[in-house]
Amino acid sequence: MTAFPPQSRRHSLLLLALLALFLAPLGVRAQFGLENKPVTGDLVSELSTVGAGKPFKVAVKLEHSPTWHVYGKTIPDGAPGLPTRVTWKLPEGWKAEELPWPATHRIQSTGGVMMDAYEGTVYLPYQITPPASAAAGSEVKLEGQVDALVCDPQTCMPVKLPFTLTLPLGSEPGVNAANTTIFASAGPEKAAPNPPPVVEAKQPEATPAAKTAPPEPAPVPPAPPEAGKATAPPQAEGGLAGKLLLAFAGGLILNVMPCVFPVLGIKILGVVNQSGEDHRRVVLHGLAYTLGVLICFWILAGTIQILRSGGTHVGWGAQLQSPVFVLLLTLFLFAFGLNMAGLFEVGTSATAVGSGLTQKAGLGGSFFSGLLATIVATPCAAPFLAPALAYGLVLPPLPSLLFFTVIGLGLSFPYLLLSAFPKLVALLPRPGAWMESFKQAMSFLMFATAAFLLWTLAGMVDEYGLLKAMFGLVLVGVACWIYGRWQLPYKSSRTRLTASILTLAFTIFGTALAWPEPIKKNSKAEENAVPALSWKEWSPELVAQLRDEKKPVYIDFTARWCVTCQTNKLVYRDDALRSEFHRLGVVTLKADWTNQDEVIFKALQELGKAAVPVNVLYVPGKKEPVVLSELLTVAHVKETLAKIEQPVAVAK
């Protein structure tokens, strides 16, 4: 085995240190995003017990971490940001009516940009009206979701915040004394024409000098703006030259951000491989890369201007709000990471999609690498770039285009500089065995970026959609392995053809499996759709109570680690089957055995089972349950439900 020269070893250690340096922020960010969320959503009620036919108030509670904010339900024309939306999923006959939201207030972000937003703790009030037929003694589950753009002075991310609240129904309403102050000023019958907003603003920590003084009462924020009138757009202080400097610095810093650094590694390899070329050729590569960056920035900026002209409020990184775009980018970066790790090597004809900046890749490779750098850069609003973007998005079309051009020049500047001054290229380490180690090391940054995008996708799809996406990644990995194992120059033409067909098949199948389902819009068809099954938490006591009430009970003993269990859940997506559950008034319970539970284990033993999945149906009037087969089908479940002799009242 040939040992690396000392210089190469030093380069390898340096590059591995850089890899660890840039992986660390990703780990911190992942931990922050998963454990310390920038905003949380909850639902609170003025009542502890609901009365049939008697309206009551609830409030969606948004609690922001320090420095984070979301926008109101409307955005002024020409202002950045996305409006906050609340959607409801209520039982049949229940209605939700929006009450006046509290007023937003002006906050100042880095760079002097002023904007109207919510921060701290804020309550968005609604009035819920139950149907007169709601049965006392039952429960109601109020569900919904908040869609918002949460931002701090450096970055923004779209979030989906589901909320749920279960309340008992009684003969008369019962007041929840703990929430009295929350609803004291919300509601049309008690409020003045401009009611004070229901906001608990988090105050910044006092300075040492101010801590000795008694706290001053917080001023009452302004009333909501009149209908049809928009507040003023964000005002940027400072001259255009200063903002352009921030834009250039922001684009430059993007080169060392974790979501762009994988592409930066590819560019470094390309520069090293091209170091032996003549000056003119290297400059052309730099200009081609810069052109790719600028064209992508121009397309994105132009798209934003077109959408804004049509009345749509859209911000930088809006393409990351599309589940299809996020999925395709995840699959691409995952496959490209496998390529960098050495699982397969692409030919020169495939390198032009941004995977190669070597001498054989040609100018097209540099051009498409510029496109790729911009695509993966947009999720990162680096320091200095966030306020610059907020300013650029409110400019008229031509100045805005200039603004985004300067950002693109900042992103492409390092590569352009190396191209224009080839002597700087000579300072880079010579090609050697360390390059393969560096290339493989960079693959982990690709995988880290793909993992972050997969986490982003998790907020756009349900659990089943996320599971499909992960299995889709596996199939794409199989396609890459087949290509790398059998699509080789020394293999026979028949072997290479078979490998190409299988590679294409696994890629298509994996992408189709992972493809996210379209987001359902509120429509007539959705209103008439069969409601989803409502699964209550299983307990032996609840089963005994429901059986005493002569109600049919269907129990799903399941676990997240059980693949067959997840496959069985596909049958409940059938509208006809769900209709049969609702028609027969079947109460559905879920016994989740994901974590060890002795009570569930004992119940399984009593059924003569020792593992999941187990699905059983208790028919009223019959002592023993009907145990279904391990692998469910729609026809099998319908046949089992037919054992219920006659319909009963639907359980609420």
- Decide if 332 is inside a domain: yes
Cα separation, 594 vs 592, whole angstroms: 6
Q: What is the pLDDT of residue 129?
A: 93
Handedness of CA 184, 189, 190, 195 (dihedral sign): positive
Burial of 626 (0-12, 13-18, 19+ CB in 10 A): middle
- Checking DSSP bridges between strand 626-627 and strand 614-618, what pairing results, if any? antiparallel
Return the percent helix, strand and coil in the chain, to nearest 5.
45, 15, 40
Cα separation, 475 vs 473, whole angstroms: 5
Residues 6+ apart with CB under 8 A from 330: 450, 453, 454, 457, 469, 473
- Decide if 3 is inside a domain: no
Same domain, 59 and 195: yes
Cα separation, 611 vs 461, whole angstroms: 29
Which tops the pLDDT comparison, 492 or 116? 492
- For residue 507, give both structure tokens: 């890629």
Cα separation, 175 vs 48, whole angstroms: 6
Cα separation, 374 vs 290, whole angstroms: 10
Q: What is the pLDDT of residue 567?
A: 81
Q: What is the pLDDT of residue 73?
A: 86
Cα separation, 509 vs 506, whole angstroms: 5
Which tops the pLDDT comparison, 490 or 109? 490
- For residue 421, give both structure tokens: 């001054």
Q: What is the 3-state secondary structure (H, E, C) of 493-519?
A: HHHHHHHHHHHHHHHHHHHHHHCCCCC
Cα separation, 358 vs 365, whole angstroms: 8
Same domain, 173 and 122: yes
- For residue 77, give both structure tokens: 């024309």
pTM higher than 0.75 for the full model? no
Same domain, 159 and 277: no
- Checking DSSP bridges between strand 535-537 and strand 587-592, what pairing results, if any? parallel
Q: What is the pLDDT of residue 452?
A: 82
Cα separation, 583 vs 641, whole angstroms: 11
Q: Answer for the pair 46, 58: CB distance below 8 angstroms, yes or no.
A: yes
Q: Answer for the pair 269, 357: CB distance below 8 angstroms, yes or no.
A: yes
Which tops the pLDDT comparison, 465 or 433? 465
Cα separation, 538 vs 532, whole angstroms: 18
Longest distance between any two alpha carbons in the chain, whole Å? 90
Same domain, 178 and 307: no
| pLDDT interval class at 554 (50, 70, 90) | very high
The strand pairing partners of 85, in sequence order, are 147
| Domain finish residue from 404, 436, 460 | 460
Q: Averaging pLDDT over each range in 14-23, 294-303, 595-604, which range is the top one?
A: 595-604
Same domain, 388 and 439: yes
- Decide if 119 is inside a domain: yes
pLDDT at 360 over 60: no
Q: What is the pLDDT of residue 553?
A: 96
Burial of 132 (0-12, 13-18, 19+ CB in 10 A): exposed
DSSP state of 178: G
Q: What is the pLDDT of residue 203?
A: 37
Closest CA to 514 of 543, 559, 479: 479
Cα separation, 564 vs 155, whole angstroms: 41
DSSP H helices, 342-462, are 362-377, 385-392, 397-420, 422-426, 434-458
Cα separation, 376 vs 378, whole angstroms: 6
Average the pLDDT over each of 164-168, 324-328, 545-549 and give the range with the smallest value. Answer: 324-328
DSSP H helices, 518-562, are 524-527, 540-548
- Decide if 466 is inside a domain: no
pLDDT at 609 over 60: yes
Closest CA to 417 of 270, 250, 291, 287: 287
Residues 6+ apart with CB under 8 A from 256: 22, 264
- Decide if 124 is inside a domain: yes
What SS3 class is residue 68? coil
Residue with tokens 């960056």: 293
Average pLDDT for 497-511: 92
The reply to whether omega before 379 is within 30° of 0 (cis) is no
Q: What is the pLDDT of residue 157?
A: 72
pLDDT at 570 over 80: yes
Q: Using alpha carbons only, how large is the chain's radius of gyration in Å?
A: 30
- Decide if 94 is inside a domain: yes
Average pLDDT for 271-282: 62
Across all residues in the chain, what is the average pLDDT? Answer: 74
Same domain, 166 and 282: no
- For residue 329, give both structure tokens: 């980018």
| Domain finish residue from 161, 181, 203 | 203
Which tops the pLDDT comparison, 652 or 81? 81
Average pLDDT for 504-519: 86
Task: Assign residue 398 a region (left: φ > 0; alpha: ψ between -120 and 50; beta: otherwise).
Answer: alpha
Cα separation, 373 vs 262, whole angstroms: 9
| Domain finish residue from 460, 481, 501 | 460
> Residue 517 corresponds to which amino acid?
E
| pLDDT interval class at 106 (50, 70, 90) | confident
- Decide if 64 is inside a domain: yes
Same domain, 111 and 254: no
The strand pairing partners of 121, in sequence order, are 63, 200
- Decide if 537 is inside a domain: yes
Which tops the pLDDT comparison, 236 or 338? 338
| pLDDT interval class at 262 (50, 70, 90) | low
Task: Assign residue 335 a region (left: φ > 0; alpha: ψ between -120 and 50; beta: otherwise).
Answer: alpha
pLDDT tens-digit map of 238-256:
456 777 787 788 777 766 5
Helices and strands in the chain, H and E counts: 18, 17
Closest CA to 388 of 505, 244, 562: 244
| pLDDT interval class at 423 (50, 70, 90) | low
How many degrees, rounded to 5, is the angle at CA 447 between CA 441 and CA 448? 95
Average pLDDT for 145-174: 84
pLDDT at 390 over 80: no
Residues 6+ apart with CB under 8 A from 367: 288, 289, 291, 292, 352
Closest CA to 356 of 336, 377, 375, 382: 336
Q: What is the pLDDT of residue 231?
A: 37
Q: What is the pLDDT of residue 482?
A: 93
What SS3 class is residue 192? coil
pLDDT tens-digit map of 287-327:
888 888 888 888 877 876 776 665 554 554 555 667 888 88
> Residue 444 corresponds to which amino acid?
F
The domain in which residue 309 lies consists of: 236-460
Say which CATH number the domain at 198 has. 2.60.40.1250
Same domain, 78 and 140: yes
Same domain, 43 and 169: yes
Average pLDDT for 494-515: 92
pLDDT at 35 over 60: no
pLDDT at 357 over 60: no
Count of domains forming the chain: 3
163: Cα within 13 Å, side-chain hemisphere: 25
pLDDT tens-digit map of 110-120:
444 567 889 99
How many degrees, rounded to 5, is the angle at CA 535 between CA 614 and CA 34? 100
Residues 6+ apart with CB under 8 A from 423: none
Q: Averaging pLDDT over each range in 27-36, 206-215, 276-285, 607-616, which range is the top one?
A: 607-616
**How many percent of the chain have pLDDT more than 90?**
27
Same domain, 66 and 108: yes
| pLDDT interval class at 270 (50, 70, 90) | low
Closest CA to 275 of 439, 414, 427: 427
Same domain, 279 and 385: yes
Which tops the pLDDT comparison, 645 or 314? 645
Residue with tokens 């960079």: 442
Q: Answer for the pair 22, 445: CB distance below 8 angstroms, yes or no.
A: yes
Average the pLDDT over each of 86-90, 439-443, 613-617 and give the range with the smallest value. Answer: 439-443
Same domain, 283 and 410: yes
